[in-house]
Chain A
Amino acid sequence: MIVADKKPIEEIIGEIKDYTTILILGCNECVTVCEAGGKKEVGILASALRMYFLNQGKDVTIDERTLERQCDHEYLEEIRDVADQYDAIVSLACGVGVQFTAEKYHAVPVIPGVNTCFLGATETRGLWTERCQACGECILARTGGICPVSRCAKRILNGPCGGASNGKCEINKELDCAWQLIIDRLKALGRLDDYENISPIKDWSTDRAGGPRRVVREDVQL
């Protein structure tokens, strides 16, 4: 999922302080799972903002809404009849949702309420860690299902850098060395011979070389 983290409320206030009618717009997908931008967080942020403006003696209307997704036209259409009534929308969706909302409602400023961080997984409640950088050319089959692009600090593709100590990365003693994990996993799979193979030089053109990417699936297009 896309993992996001809440923005400091001071930053959000800085962006909306001149408006008087504001919609806090949550998303029921990834940001709900990582507890940054779902219905619950919409309620918490709206309450905090109401309290702030009340203390400031400002009459500001803060409304709440949470859509199933903000990255789909279909769900964003649900606020078609009300969007223009607001001076601003604070979107608690990921960067995709913020942009899609802004594209759909040109006349209303759409302000991000979260920082979109990475593609990751829930390790335990309250701990999400990165697993994928969406490089566009998955090499997990060669690396025992552990991604050196997202999990190695140096993103190196042919074995450890030599800086790890006791299986931990040189940049942070709490961070596993991705290549130690890969080697352990390949060993467990009886495929350590794979480790001896030098990877072909990675084609980053599927990453961001060449600009924003598209996936076109003619077989599912209407």
Chain B
Amino acid sequence: MDLKNKFNAGEFVILAEIEPPKGVDISTMVTNATMVKGKADALLVPEMSNAVMRMSALGGAMILQGKVMETVMQVNCRDRNRLALQADLLAASACGITGIMAVTGEDPSFGDHQQAKAVYDIDLPELLDSIHKLQQGRDMAGIDLCGSPQFLVGSTVNPGLKGMALELELTEMKKKIDAGVEFLIMPPLFDLDSIEPFLKMVDHRKTHIIPTVLLLKSVGMARYIDRNMDHVHVSAQLIKRLQKAPDKVRECIKIASEMVSVLKREGFSGVLLSTIGWEDRLAEIIDGSKG
């Protein structure tokens, strides 16, 4: 069963984030991805996250789709104009990629090519509209396609916002759903209470809200996230638990596994597992969540 059917059937889906390499050696990427085959439901391939130059999501997704399993390819507005975005979406579909996640993309100033000019020829709502048009058989210029792509389309939502910002986010979320978005990935979640206002307003059992379960790597990382990542809360209790753990790496994996279990129990449609470089630990997290 593919990802779309799993969502429709109400199955809890596990997406595993696999970053393409910075270079052409794909062996580690493929090895890590192969380790989650049969455990995760699909691989999410980011498009140069944090504006750090590496192999494109299209390249990574094509390789992984062919060698390992179903992929969800990220597509962003930062690096490509409307010609290139549409061209890559056609290429992705023709190469068997059926899942895409549309995002705005971080500014180049976040990354390792800070002198780069961002494109933003079209914005996220326009990108979603263009994806819809492609699926209807026409490009953005209204010209008929010779065969149209069909995608399961995802995007992002930030439930950690509060007050007026959260209300605006809900409006944006509705716009995305109206534009054909079928699942929404949210930023790292460590504490369900931190998104309580959102959960009061949105039935996460009906809308496919996919929290990111980010693998912590150290006490320092946990503290850093809590202090510096907007709208992401790591509780003092969790930080203390990590501090006390004799084997911190094992504890980090355990925390991630537990979070997957909690989110499944709470009725979320799935999770995105993100490890930021520790992709060889993905399988352990999934195994731990099932134990």
* B-binding residues in A (CB < 8 A): 201-205, 207-211
Contact = CB atoms under 8 A, between A and B. Distances in A.
Interface stretch (B31-39, B109-117, B203-211): B109-117
B117 A210 contact: no
A204 B115 CA distance: 5
Contacts of A208: 117-118
A209 B116 CA distance: 7
Contacts of A205: 108-109, 114-115
A42 B201 CA distance: 49
Interface residues of B, number: 8
Interface of B: 107-109, 114-118
A202 B115 CA distance: 7
Contacts of B115: 201-205, 209
* Interface of A: prevailing SS: loop
21 contacts: A201-B115, A202-B115, A203-B115, A204-B115, A204-B116, A205-B109, A205-B114, A205-B115, A207-B117, A208-B117, A209-B107, A209-B108, A209-B109, A209-B116, A209-B117, A209-B118, A210-B107, A210-B108, A210-B114, A211-B107, A211-B109
B188 to A, nearest CB: 24
Nearest to B117: A204
Contacts of B118: 208-209
Contacts of A209: 107-109, 114-118
Nearest to A204: B117
Contacts of B117: 204, 207-209
Given A202-B115, A211-B107, 8 more contacts: A201-B115, A204-B115, A204-B117, A205-B108, A205-B109, A209-B115, A210-B108, A210-B109
A208 B116 CA distance: 10
Shortest beta-carbon contacts, A-B, top 8: A204-B117, A210-B109, A203-B115, A209-B108, A205-B115, A205-B114, A204-B115, A209-B118
A203 B114 CA distance: 8
A155 B130 CA distance: 27
Contacts of A207: 117
Contacts of B114: 205, 209-210
A41 B12 CA distance: 64
A151 B108 CA distance: 25
Contacts of B109: 205, 209-211
A142 B107 CA distance: 29
A150 to B, nearest CB: 14
B34 to A, nearest CB: 37
Contacts of B108: 205, 209-210
Nearest to A201: B115
A114 B118 CA distance: 27
B79 to A, nearest CB: 12
Contacts of B116: 204, 209
Contacts of A201: 115
A207 B115 CA distance: 9
A207 B117 CA distance: 8
A203 B109 CA distance: 12
A25 B116 CA distance: 39
Nearest to A210: B109
Nearest to A137: B115
Contacts of A210: 107-109, 114
A201 B116 CA distance: 10
Residue with the highest number of chain B CB atoms closer than 10 Å, among A203, A204, A209, A211? A209
A201 B115 CA distance: 9
A204 B114 CA distance: 8
A204 B116 CA distance: 6
A201 B113 CA distance: 12
